[in-house]
Structure 1
Amino acid sequence: MGDILTVHNLNKSFGSKHVLHDVDFTVGEGRIVGLIGPNGAGKSTIMKTILGLINYESGEIQVAGQTVTPSSHEALANVGALIEYPGLYPYLTGWDHLDLFANGDHQLIHIQRIISKLNMDDFIKRLARGYSVGMKQKLGVAMALVNEPSLVILDEPMNGLDPQSIKDLRDLIIEESQKGTSFLISSHILSELEKLAQDVLIIDKGKIVSATTMHQLLVSQGRNTIFLQTSDDPKARDLLKAASFELDDGPQVRIIDRADDTLASALKTLINAGLDVNDMQREEGSLESSLLDLLAKDRVAD
């Protein structure tokens, strides 16, 4: 399978402020890619530039091999998007919106499927002016998917959604990706993005600082930890530090798990010193902790 989206050496400025610096990445066919980073890092600017909503100084954007610019965007005919908040007509129903944007009657079965998957049946025939934030968000996602696009770009799609609605959206995105649709998703709800994204792009200060898979990111940042309760935790911490184990800050015995033999070596060190190990738990790292660690390391390197 090839790449549906290619962004190469993209640069963008607003006045004298250079906001995108040689941004370079690809999105594979049928892949779910998370675009994450701090506020103001350039996530929304990248998405708007891909969609031809704003121009760029240099670089290249291609969707399915076709170049995209604000004056040449034929390739976007097969791209769906939700950027920030959906633009809705207050005196049209949700169904009217989907019917308006659908390419022909053959989409009716697909439209009904999206409505059911996102649990929109109860309000889809009501006027959009009475919709809650969550209802509007669901309709915006549905509009992005209505024509079965090859690529879908979603900026904060989980805004205003309750836990069940977030799960419904997650399940729908995964199902669509398995059918071949690619997704580029930006979200501050990292715990949900961790369950969803296969690949991760991390951006900071307008630069892509990491482009990897979700699995590789979590493993490479080494944020899995081993939590131990011993007969003398302060002594255990001193012993482990002296033996060059890496520990989290704080009074508890929490070891950074960076190798296959970390647990066995730590237990041997403590037992040989005459300490009892009363309890042990493995704690897997999270996307949030991995992101913060990577950004911290990148900024130190700068």
Structure 2
Amino acid sequence: MEETVLSVRRLSKSFGRKQALHHVSFDCQAGRIVGLIGANGAGKTTIMKAILSLIKSQGDITINGQASTFNHHAALADVGALIEYPGIYPFLSGRDHLKLFARPTADKVQRIQTVIRDLHLAPYIDRRVKGYSLGMRQKMGIALALVNQPRLVILDEPMNGLDPQATKDLRELIKKKQAQGTTFLISSHILGELQKLAEDLIVIDHGRVVHQTTMQELLARNQHFLVLTTDQDLRAAGILAENGYLVTAHAPIRVQLRAADTVAAVLKTLTSNGVSIEDVQHEDGDFEQSILDMLRE
């Protein structure tokens, strides 16, 4: 049985008369990358702040088997986080920040050097942070979240301000840390990046969990299409429609494949009616569209 690193039960939060979270419950299992997905204002950051005891909330939060509340949160010692913007001091260098936040254990210097190497911070780590670009600051914030090698890492929009190379580097680092047993809870509006990372998905809408699934299950639910080019597309589309196939476009022909449909049967239907097939391609439904459809439902 998988070990539960983070358990959230009946989490609720109100700001004045506005209820931001409604009895949110979910788990994060050890060594998994969990994606928190929802529109702006859905409650993703509020959930993360509540877990980290940055705001008061109602409900039960357990981290590594230990209850964590706003007033008693010792369990957070084994949690790293980057929420919204990195909390950094402009007149300190990047290295000074890491020395300040790194736990004073025997391997402190080694941990600092490791995170500098992993995030490619060496070219500017000894410069004052006030001169850092947005991307440099973001990487600094991620470094602070990772420097103590926590079991659970919570990242809110970690790709903000990162260029394509830095985004790829961060993705590879997260996967490397996951392979070593680290659990990640990540929110991102860049769904394409989340698709490359997340294994488990929690979909939030208006402060409620509307769906929990795995990336594998969600992609399996995606629609599959056959895209065809023939010597007489309009006639071919008509033939397929007459034979009960779901034709969604005509030039080129796009056929939605349902469970009972096979590629061989589609092609045979056309060739037996004298249609020559010039090109055949497969196309899967879009991950982002699947999420939007889920929220619409």
Instruction: Give the TM-score category using the shorter length.
Output: over 0.9
Structure 1 unmatched runs, 5+: none
Query: In structure 1, what is the equivalent of residue 161 of structure 2?
Result: 160
SS of the residue corresponding to residue 175 of structure 2 reads helix
CA distance in 2: counterparts of 1:139 and 1:145, whole angstroms: 10
Alignment of 1:26-105 (within 5 A): 26-57=27-58, 59-104=59-104, 105=106
Structure 2 unmatched runs, 5+: none
Deviation >4 Å, runs of 4+: none
Write out per-residue CA displacement over residues 137-184 of structure 1, whole angstroms, 9 at most, x where no aligned residue. 000000000101010000000011111101110111111111111000
CA distance in 1: counterparts of 2:241 and 2:209, whole angstroms: 35
Query: In structure 2, what is the equivalent of residue 125 of structure 1?
Result: 126
Query: In structure 1, what is the equivalent of residue 192 of structure 2?
Result: 191
CA distance in 1: counterparts of 2:24 and 2:161, whole angstroms: 30
Letter paired with 1:96: D
CA distance in 2: counterparts of 1:250 and 1:6, whole angstroms: 49
SS of the residue corresponding to residue 35 of structure 1 reads strand
How large is the RMSD of aligned CA atoms in angstroms? 1.7
Cα shift at 1:15: 2.1
CA distance in 2: counterparts of 1:51 and 1:109, whole angstroms: 26
CA distance in 1: counterparts of 2:235 and 2:112, whole angstroms: 63
Query: In structure 1, what is the equivalent of residue 204 of structure 2?
Result: 203
SS of the residue corresponding to residue 67 of structure 1 reads strand
CA distance in 2: counterparts of 1:133 and 1:279, whole angstroms: 46
Matching of residue 256 in structure 1 with residue 279 in structure 2: no
CA distance in 2: counterparts of 1:175 and 1:130, whole angstroms: 30
Query: In structure 1, what is the equivalent of residue 213 of structure 2?
Result: 212
SS of the residue corresponding to residue 89 of structure 1 reads coil
8 Å Cα contact 1:199/1:214 also seen in 2: yes
Query: In structure 2, what is the equivalent of residue 294 of structure 1?
Result: 294
How many residues are aligned here?
295
Query: In structure 1, what is the equivalent of residue 226 of structure 2?
Result: 226
- When residues 249 and 278 of structure 1 are mapped into structure 2, their CA distance, relative to the original with a 3 A threshold, is closer
CA distance in 2: counterparts of 1:216 and 1:197, whole angstroms: 12
Write out per-residue CA displacement over residues 69-95 of structure 1, whole angstroms, 9 at most, x where no aligned residue. 211211111100000110110000001
Cα shift at 1:42: 1.1
CA distance in 2: counterparts of 1:110 and 1:260, whole angstroms: 55
8 Å Cα contact 2:237/2:250 also seen in 1: no
Cα shift at 1:268: 2.3
8 Å Cα contact 2:241/2:247 also seen in 1: yes
Query: In structure 2, what is the equivalent of residue 106 of structure 1?
Result: 107
SS of the residue corresponding to residue 256 of structure 1 reads strand
- When residues 278 and 170 of structure 1 are mapped into structure 2, their CA distance, relative to the original with a 3 A threshold, is same
After TM superposition, the score normalised by the length of structure 1 is 0.92
Query: In structure 2, what is the equivalent of residue 175 of structure 1?
Result: 176
8 Å Cα contact 1:191/1:286 also seen in 2: no
Letter paired with 1:37: G
Matching of residue 134 in structure 1 with residue 160 in structure 2: no
Query: In structure 1, what is the equivalent of residue 244 of structure 2?
Result: 244
CA distance in 2: counterparts of 1:61 and 1:257, whole angstroms: 43
- When residues 54 and 266 of structure 1 are mapped into structure 2, their CA distance, relative to the original with a 3 A threshold, is same
8 Å Cα contact 2:233/2:250 also seen in 1: no
Query: In structure 2, what is the equivalent of residue 20 of structure 1?
Result: 21
Letter paired with 2:114: R
